[in-house]
Amino acid sequence: MIAKAGKENSLAARLFVILFAAMFLSFIAATALAAYVSWTAYEGDAEERLTAQLEVVEGELQGLDSKQMEEVLARTHLADTRITLVAGDGTVLYDNMVDTREMGSHADREEIRTAPDRGEAVVLRRSETTGTDSLYAASRVNPDGTVLRLAESRASLAYYLGGLLLPLSVAVLLAALLSMLLSRVITRRITSPLLRVDLDAPLKSRTYREITPLLERIDAQRVELVRQNEQLARAVEMRREFTGNVSHEMKSPLQVIGGYAELIEEGIGSPDDARHFAGIIKSETQSMRMLIDDVLTLSRLDEGATNDARAVDVAELVLRVVGRLSSVAAASGVEIAVDLRECSVCCEEALLEQAVYNLVDNAVRYGDGRVEVTVGRDGEKVAIAVSDDGEGIPVDQRERVFERFYRVDASRSRSTGGTGLGLAIVKHAADAMGGRVFVGESDMGGAAFTLELPVQ
């Protein structure tokens, strides 16, 4: 499991390695320190013991001459302790372990040189006589400079640790196992709150305060993702519905065109009938062209392709639109009245013109004789209002009239020649230009559409 976690560069694996290394190295350091302190204490005890023995033997030699001292030392037995008596000139008078005849002058020995000055000297050095590390304690025993020296062979630190090799090895192995166990337990306790984080509701998870900003960002992204998914689902559904509506709207004129074309092909009817059939085909073809143009416009708006913005004189644009629709209005017996104030907005002129055209055209189609178009400024907004004296729009349907292919009265809408996409184009165009469009009731009892855009 650890190997797998390491390959994945997981937090648990890193924590485990760091904790294990820290614990194991700490134990090794503590063990080494304890061994050194133990060895130092061992050396200190040996020094105190040797010094105490020196004081005892020194007391027995007080007031004696050299010969008497040798006799007393010959009767003195100290386990594992070497006893040496050195004259003031460095000559070895007595040694309980080495033949004095084989021993040279000891005047240059550190403990012998320092004992007369200090009264007592303790030195740890390598013995030139025995070739071993020894601890020496020396003391002056009479005024002529005779020195009594006691010595014990001492083990070096390496030798001392060598004797502890087996127990130290066992301790190191136990430390490794204990460090591994504790590291695993601590790692699990540290990582378990992270593993329990509920990504569906991260802010409700009980975890570390330090990762709260991360959880807040995750939650914000989760909410945004849910919102985007919902929008995507709605968009897919709207596109599916839109595709179905387009197919349905195009099917009817195609059937009409196909039917009348077949009649003409078979020569059914008089020449006047043929001209009548051709007129119907032409009308249906124009309807299809209008539908295709509107579909392409909506597609362009959905893609956000509206970046040719410039300053536009709204009053001039409205007059141009009214002029284009004057013949249609006159043919329908509708009067278009305008009340314009000079205003400018920054937008794509063609897009604004189409939006205004759709509003005025819609009012002409559904009005009952009069359409009013006003342009004015309201604070930081320019308002373009188009009102008619028709039947109006019920309150519960005023939001839906901007949906694609939605018609308040389907039969009447088709009879007027509308595609069902005009107001949807107005809504998308308003959004693209940073404005909004809404509908209410006009003073004439019909519908009143208002397009608001930010001032240039």
Q: Do 150 and 281 share a domain, yes or no?
A: no
What's the average model confidence in pLDDT over 404-430?
A: 69
For residue 244, pLDDT beyond 70: no
For residue 317, pLDDT beyond 80: yes
Q: Do 138 and 179 share a domain, yes or no?
A: yes
H/E element, 402 = none
Q: Which residues pair with 344 in a beta bridge?
A: 313
Q: Do 208 and 130 share a domain, yes or no?
A: no
Domain holding 153: CATH number? Answer: 3.30.450.20
Determine contact, residues 338/318, Cβ cutoff 8 Å: yes
Among residues 179, 195, 211, which one ends one of the domains?
A: 195
The span from the CA of 141 to the CA of 61, in Å, is 7
What's the average model confidence in pLDDT over 381-392?
A: 90
What's the average model confidence in pLDDT over 301-311?
A: 71
Domain holding 356: CATH number? Answer: 3.30.565.10
H/E element, 375 = strand 370-378
What's the average model confidence in pLDDT over 74-91?
A: 85
Q: Do 249 and 392 share a domain, yes or no?
A: no
Q: Do 319 and 298 share a domain, yes or no?
A: no
For residue 204, pLDDT beyond 60: yes
Task: Work out how many domains the chain is built from and give that number.
Answer: 3
Q: Do 128 and 77 share a domain, yes or no?
A: yes
Domain holding 279: CATH number? Answer: 1.10.287.130
Q: Do 384 and 319 share a domain, yes or no?
A: yes
Share of the chain above pLDDT 70, in %: 84
Among residues 305, 340, 374, which one ends one of the domains?
A: 305
The span from the CA of 230 to the CA of 212, in Å, is 27
For residue range 428-442, list pLDDT tens digits in order. Answer: 888 888 889 999 898
Q: How confident is the model at residue 245 (pLDDT cuts 50, 70, 90)?
A: low
Q: Which residues pair with 13 in a beta bridge?
A: none
For residue 58, pLDDT beyond 50: yes
Q: Which of 405, 422, 111 is nearest to 250 (CA)?
A: 405
For residue 144, how many C-alpha atoms fall within 13 Å in the half-sphere facing its CB?
A: 13
The span from the CA of 98 to the CA of 151, in Å, is 12
Q: How confident is the model at residue 1 (pLDDT cuts 50, 70, 90)?
A: very low
Q: Do 300 and 402 share a domain, yes or no?
A: no
Residue predicted with more confidence, 213 or 365:
365
Among residues 178, 195, 212, which one ends one of the domains?
A: 195
Q: How confident is the model at residue 383 (pLDDT cuts 50, 70, 90)?
A: very high
Q: Do 172 and 79 share a domain, yes or no?
A: yes
Q: Do 74 and 146 share a domain, yes or no?
A: yes
Q: Rounded to whole angstroms, what are the CA distances from 227 to 125, 160, 223?
A: 85, 74, 6
Boundaries of domain holding 414: 309-454
For the chain, give the mean pLDDT: 80
Determine contact, residues 346/309, Cβ cutoff 8 Å: yes
For residue range 153-181, list pLDDT tens digits in order. Answer: 776 556 666 667 787 788 888 888 888 88
Q: Do 146 and 259 share a domain, yes or no?
A: no
Q: Do 184 and 209 share a domain, yes or no?
A: no
